[in-house]
Structure formats: C-alpha cells, structure tokens
Amino acid sequence: MKIAVIGTGYVGLSTGVCLAEIGHTVTCIDIDQKKIQHLQKGIPPFYEPGIGEMIMNNVNKTKLFFSSSHRDGVAGADIVIIAVGTPQREDGSCNLTFLEQAAIDSAPYLEKESIFVIKSTVPIGTNETIQKLIESRFQKKVQIVSNPEFLRQGSAIFDTMHPDRIVIGSENKDASEKIAEMYRPLNAPILITSIRSAEMIKYASNAFLATKISYINYIANLCEQVGADVEDVAQGMGTDKRISPAFLQAGIGYGGSCFPKDVKALLAISKENGINPGLLQETVAMNEHQQTILVSKALQRFQTLKEKRFALLGLSFKPETDDMREAPSIPMAKQLVELGAEVIAYDPKAVHNAKKILGSTIKYADSIDEAFLHADAIFIVTEWGEITNMDIGNLLKTAKSPIVFDGRNCFDEKKIKACDSIEYYSIGKPVLFINPPKN
C-alpha cells in the first residue's frame, strides 16, 4: 500500500519505518525542514534504540521517503496517518492546533478513496470534528479512522513491530478492514471499535497506568512509615495475575510527553462531562508529591542544603531516551538550586535537551566518575543501565560523603552491604547504614 505519515516525532517516525519494514511504500512528512534533511540522510532527530538502523535499511530505496511537502506524500496515498503532537493547554485540556493544521495541509491532496487515520492521542469526538472540517472546508468526503498508538519511548521500534493489540476505531467496515490489512504482517490482535471507543481506549489506558504508578508510590510511602519493603509488596501483589507486575516500580513519579498531559486531558474531559474527576486528581497530586520526595529526604538528612554539592545521575524521564519532557529531574534540580545547593548532573544522552530547560543553573558532568567527585550526596534519578551497573562502592570513595538518595531503587541489599561506607535512602524501603559518616 502507499502510505503518508504526517509528523516525524516518536510515533510518526516509528510508524513510518515499521510500515516500510513490512513492505509498504511510506512517505513521512514534517514541516520541520531541518528534521527532514537529516532524515533523508538517515539521521534520526532523537535518540531511540534501533530507529537509525531501520531508517538506513529503508530510506531512499523503494520503501521509505522523507519530504517537507504534504503533496509529495498525500497525493496518490491509499492511507494518510496523522501523528502530530497534541500537547496540553495551560488549563490541562488538549491543544488540537497542530492536528487541525495537519488536516488542512493534507486535505487538498487527498484522493477519493484515501483513508484518513488519526494516530495522535485526541479527546473523544475529535475524529468526527476533523472529518467535518475536511468535508466542509474542502468539499471532500473522507473515511476517517481512529488508530491510537501504545508504543513506549526507549522501545518504540519493538513496541511498533510487536504490539499487544491494534485498536481500529471506525464507523465504516471497508475502512477498518483496509487498516487491518495494512497491519496484517505484524500478526497482532486487532480490536475494531467505534471511533469514540478507540479515542477513549487510549486515554483510559494511559490514565490507568499513571494511576497504577501513583498507587504503588502511595504504598511505598506508607511502607517507609510502617517498616515494610515496597519491592516485596509489589512482588507479592504482582504475582496475582489480575494485578500483574508491570508498572509497580515505585520511584519519583511518572514523567514524559504523555502520562502527565493525557491524565490532565482526561481530567478536563471528565469535568466537561460532569463526571467527578477526583480519582485522577489524586493521581496527579500523588505524582507531584513524589517528584519532591528525594529533596525532602535530603532536607531531613542535612537540615540545610546551602552550599552542598549534589550529583544527579540521570536526567531523561526514563532510560533509553534523550527526551526531557516533564522529566522528574527538572523540578528536582530546580528545587535543589533554589535551596542553595550546587548541582552537577550526568546523563548518557539527554544533556543537550536538559541544557535547553535548565541552562547554566546546574553543571553537567561528562562521566559518572566526574559527577561523584567531592559530592556531599548522590541522587539517582533515571535508571540507565550504566548507572544501575556502576561500581557504587568504589565510586563513593571519591565523594565527600557516601550518602545516596536512590529514586529508582537501583541496588539490591547485597550490593549496598558490600560498600565500605554508605548511607542509602531509597523509595519505600528501610534506610541502610554501613559505617555511615559521622556528620
């Protein structure tokens, strides 16, 4: 099939390269000309494992093309997939400006039989609004399909090639069958629903996962007070098949480009529809609280953070991505600086993006070793493999004090007990002291 993908962010690019990989002819379009010039040379615009190789395998051969002209991709396409951003407005609701513009940019070149697919995460009713916009402004009949995306950053290619399910929301049997046919080589379970149900499935899934994280963080905070260990509790809960072990990792809260904005968008939708949004309000409040938890632990430990030097290990919102959108490291670094501390941060991939947000308010180390030097304490923020595998016992010998605040529960008791000296604070677990410093 001939397919146009509009938007080359995480979703558009992963979708485009994977559809090319399974044999379709795909043109990915973006208004960002610089991005397109790089992509034409095989250079991805962000760090995502495996995506560069997939582009190089397919680009400019017979299957995968990049262009900044909507006409190039949309004219003659059987299917047009929209994957532009749907960020949050100041009031938390979803901003559809990019989506509307992408529809306006594409509509003039839509063929009679083209199917218009919205993959971006959108409020319920948006697909119908876009269909009406195209029909009234361009006098064109168009078949619209909602096809939400469930990939995770850091494993975007794997998730796109091996989805748990593909959701196709459509009111037209031929259109839904054609989209199912497009995905057939993936051999994934396909769920066909109404357009509104498909739109709702996406928000309900993200808000559920975010709520599961807030729930385990709430349990973790309780564990600290009652002397239980949240990892044992999560394991005990997760072995119940009805609960599942996924998304029960307690930590410093969820971040990223989607959970924070999608929970708030669903909250806004609840309010608009007169449904009490209390449950989701608690999810958000718990997450905001959790993002401050390491700083509170440090304040309790040191009383004042003035002139202390703190190493922040990890900046991105999760490992295997350089994305800094809504990363818990941002409020944490800002809070530490406000309290008078000097912050030196290390991240294997995200420093260039962190600098756009935190600028020179903090320092940046080129290695884990450099961050540890003379530090009064170490904060573990993102569980990159390089960080969880580090020789913490040895590295602490170069720090001023062997004090660690681990926001991701990276180390087991054995590794901590092997250290000559450490004061180890984690999330939802007892504090471990091995020959702690005197001050």
Ligand X SMILES: O=C(O)[C@H]1O[C@H](OP(=O)(O)OP(=O)(O)OC[C@H]2O[C@@H](n3ccc(=O)[nH]c3=O)[C@H](O)[C@@H]2O)[C@H](O)[C@@H](O)[C@@H]1O
Which residue carries 């951003």 as its tokens? 85
348 binds ligand X (CB under 6 A): no
Min separation Cβ 168 and ligand NAI, Å: 15
126 binds ligand NAI (CB under 6 A): no
Q: Confirm or deny that 27 is annotated as ligand binding.
A: no
Alpha carbon distance 298, 348 (integer Å): 24
Whether 18 is catalytic is no
Q: Confirm or deny that 86 is annotated as ligand binding.
A: yes
Min separation Cβ 293 and ligand X, Å: 12
Indicate the Cα dihedral angle 246, 247, 251, 252, nearest 10°.
160
- Of 77-85, 193-201, 215-223, 279-287, the segment contacting ligand NAI by CB under 6 A is 77-85
Burial 36-57 (b: 16+ CB within 10 A, else e): bebbeebebbbbbeebeebbbe
Q: What six digits make up the tokens of 83?
A: 């994957």
| One residue of 114, 249, 283, 409 binding ligand X per CB under 6 A | 249
44 binds ligand NAI (CB under 6 A): no
| One residue of 46, 138, 150, 158 binding ligand X per CB under 6 A | 150
| One residue of 58, 126, 206, 353 binding ligand X per CB under 6 A | 206
153 binds ligand NAI (CB under 6 A): yes
Nearer to ligand X, 27 or 160 (CB): 160
CB atoms within 10 A of CB 176: 21
11 binds ligand NAI (CB under 6 A): yes
Q: Which member of 28, 94, 223, 258 is catalytic?
A: 258
Min separation Cβ 153 and ligand NAI, Å: 4
Q: What six digits make up the tokens of 108?
A: 């003039």
> Which does residue 32 bind out of ligand NAI, ligand X, none, counting CB within 5 to 8 angstroms by kind?
ligand NAI
Residue 190 forms beta bridges with which residues?
A: 166
Alpha carbon distance 307, 438 (integer Å): 19
256 binds ligand X (CB under 6 A): yes
Instruction: Tell which phi-psi region holds residue 366, choosing left (phi > 0), alpha (psi between -120 and 50) or beta.
Output: alpha
How far is Cα of residue 386 from the mean position of the Cα atoms in its chain?
Answer: 20
- Of 206-214, 273-281, 349-357, 361-369, the segment contacting ligand X by CB under 6 A is 206-214
> By CB under 6 A, what part of segment 84-103 binds ligand NAI?
84-86, 98, 101-102
151 binds ligand NAI (CB under 6 A): yes
Geometric angle at alpha carbon 373, from 404 and 401, rounded to 5°: 40
Q: Are 378 and 372 in contact (CB under 8 A)?
A: yes
Alpha carbon distance 429, 216 (integer Å): 13
209 binds ligand X (CB under 6 A): yes
Min separation Cβ 307 and ligand X, Å: 30
213 binds ligand X (CB under 6 A): yes
| One residue of 88, 191, 247, 292 binding ligand X per CB under 6 A | 247
Q: Confirm or deny that 249 is annotated as ligand binding.
A: yes
Min separation Cβ 262 and ligand NAI, Å: 7
153 binds ligand X (CB under 6 A): yes
298 binds ligand X (CB under 6 A): no
- Of 37-45, 148-156, 295-303, 349-357, the segment contacting ligand X by CB under 6 A is 148-156
302 binds ligand X (CB under 6 A): no
Residues with a known catalytic role? 258
- Binding residues (CB under 6 A) for ligand NAI: these are 6-12, 29-32, 35, 83-86, 98, 101-102, 105, 120-121, 149, 151, 153, 257-258
Indicate the annotated binding residues for substrate. Answer: 202, 247-251, 255, 318
